[in-house]
Amino acid sequence: MKLFAGALTAALILSAGAASAQAPAAPAVGAANRPHYGQTITSEQAEAVMAAARAEAKRRGVADTVAIAVVEPTGELIMFYRGTFAQYAAQEWVLGKARTSARFQRPTSVLADLVNKGQLGPLAFPGATVAGAGGVPIMSGGRQIGAIGTTGGFDQEVADAGAAAVK
């Protein structure tokens, strides 16, 4: 099984290289363009993020199917919400989106765009990497203090509303 996993990882890395040779280059997202990490999000800030995200989900009619995770910059869970009719898989899915956004210091939609263009590099990252809309860094004072991940409908809009709750 370990041999298969190693071969799969190697295939992903090789195909990412081949795909990137064929696909147009994405805009550079180097260290100089990423925000610095700040202090870890506080519980009060996480509550504000969660309240804003839940309010947006309710406004859009998906409050019962949405799931939301708020993490600190390392990707560790601070707060989680699961609507009554959210999928059971939603907990891992939103945690993956939030962790990916926190660790890559960018919205997960950026990674989805790369994958959609044939660049599979983001999928070769060890551990959970989610390349889809709904993971957004949470910023305060120009520094990243955490991230939010959402699923269940209007993922990007719900995540954006939550992240905007912190200034």
Phi, psi of 71 (to 5 degrees): -125, 165
The second-level CATH assignment, the architecture, of 2-26+35-163 is 2-Layer Sandwich (3.30)
Strands 77-82 and 143-151: unpaired
As a whole number, mean pLDDT of residues 65-84 equals 97
Domains of the chain, residue spans? 2-26+35-163
At residue 17, the pLDDT reads 41
DSSP 37: B
Beta bridge partners of 82: 67
Whole-model pTM: value is 0.77
At residue 33, the pLDDT reads 67
pLDDT single digits (tens) 120-145: 887 877 765 787 899 999 999 999 99
Residue 57: pLDDT over 80: yes
Residue 4: pLDDT over 80: no
